[in-house]
Structure 1
Amino acid sequence: MAKLLGDRLRSNHFPRWLVASALDVLVADASESLRELSGGQFELTHADGDFLVVDHADADARRPVKTLSGGETFQASLALALALSSQLAGLAAEGAPRLESILLDEGFGTLDESSLETVAGTLENLATRGDRMVGVITHVPALAERIPVRFSVARDQRTSTIVREGP
């Protein structure tokens, strides 16, 4: 045990060990969120510096995250963002402001109709949890219409205006 501890604390190993430990926690937290967001279909893991998805609908097959569809990729990205924000909140000094919101500008315009439906459903399910405010920056009317409170930004050559829409 002393040899292992001595090896981990060496200056050339300690930073790698620390980063690997932080990544393990991040992936575990993100995996829990992704499992919830995907209705139990997916979990995340990592190996050799790459993120992998465990697909429970395909006999727990492990495959690269780049094989996910647009909506599934959004869910995985959102799960990682939520896990990272939780970790950052946990690292904040006592009495420091908490990170209780996230802004997403994910390029929603590139999603097909099915993926857009998955994204909208994911965001709606996230809103029911109530533990975080998620702001969405989008130019896609079909997505914007499903968000209950919206702020529309309009600009002309001299100024911009912001109008609140919704309850």
Structure 2
Amino acid sequence: MRSDAFQRWLVSSAVDTLVAEASALLLDLSGGQFDLEYVKGVFHVIDHNEADARRPVKTLSGGETFQASLALALSSQMGALAAAGAAKLDSIFLDAGFGTLDEETLDTVASTLENLAASGSRMVGVITHVGALAERVPVRFRVTRDATSSRIVREAL
């Protein structure tokens, strides 16, 4: 048993666990359409709406890519991948992608984030220009700027 083979096996095992949990999240986010898999260093989706076709993730639309990325980012396994003694990943900021989502998918994503916040397992910050999503965030800060400075104001709910 070579030492580099052990490291590859260990990383592969960790990624497999991450992808398994992210796949379950993606299945929920996509309304049952997609599963995620990672084979030989390449991510694929299983498209259940297309007779379980297996295809590269690069074929996903903007909104679908956002969902797959979100599923990976929200996996509780992300924190487990940190080295011993490293900073704990118990918060995440999402910036971009919300504008690519249709109304139904945006609602699913917002509900997922609300459920995550309610569980208390992770703090999720959202940076968005999408009003429908901003309305659902319980604590909001509005950032404005003029020619010389920026202001941050906490909005009363």
- The TM-score by the shorter chain falls in which range? 0.7 to 0.9
Greater Cα shift, 138-147 or 43-52 = 138-147
- In the alignment, what sits opposite 2:48? 56
Question: What secondary structure is seen at the aligned counterpart in 2 of 1:13?
Answer: helix
| C-alpha contact 1:150 1:164 (8 A) present in aligned 2 | yes
Please state how far the C-alpha of 1:154 moved relative to its aligned partner.
1.4
Q: How does 1:22-41 map to 2 (within 5 A)?
A: 22-41=14-33
The equivalent position to 1:42 in structure 2, one of 34, 43, 46, is: 34
- In the alignment, what sits opposite 1:159? 149
Please state how far the C-alpha of 1:143 moved relative to its aligned partner.
4.0
Q: Which runs of 5+ in 1 are unaligned?
A: 1-5
Q: How does 1:14-163 map to 2 (within 5 A)?
A: 14-83=6-75, 85-88=76-79, 99-109=89-99, 111=100, 114=102, 117-129=104-116, 130-131=118-119, 132-163=122-153
Q: In structure 2, what is the Cα distance between the partners aligned to 1:29 and 1:107?
A: 21
Rate the CA distance shift 1:66–1:119 in 2: closer, same or farther, 3 A: farther
Rg comparison, structure with higher value: 1
Question: What secondary structure is seen at the aligned counterpart in 2 of 1:40?
Answer: coil
Question: What secondary structure is seen at the aligned counterpart in 1 of 2:112?
Answer: helix
Please state how far the C-alpha of 1:142 moved relative to its aligned partner.
4.8
Q: In structure 1, what is the Cα distance between the partners aligned to 2:104 and 2:138?
A: 16
| C-alpha contact 1:92 1:98 (8 A) present in aligned 2 | no
Please state how far the C-alpha of 1:48 moved relative to its aligned partner.
2.2
1:79-134 CA-to-partner distances (Å, cap 9, x unmatched) read 00012x5431585869x98543211112444x26x2x6523431233313423332
| C-alpha contact 2:110 2:136 (8 A) present in aligned 1 | no
TM-score, length basis structure 2:
0.78
Question: What secondary structure is seen at the aligned counterpart in 1 of 2:114?
Answer: helix
Please state how far the C-alpha of 1:49 moved relative to its aligned partner.
1.1
Please state how far the C-alpha of 1:25 moved relative to its aligned partner.
0.9
| C-alpha contact 2:82 2:88 (8 A) present in aligned 1 | no
Q: In structure 2, what is the Cα distance between the partners aligned to 1:50 and 1:97?
A: 28
Q: In structure 2, what is the Cα distance between the partners aligned to 1:87 and 1:108?
A: 22
TM-score, length basis structure 1:
0.74
AA matched with 1:11: S
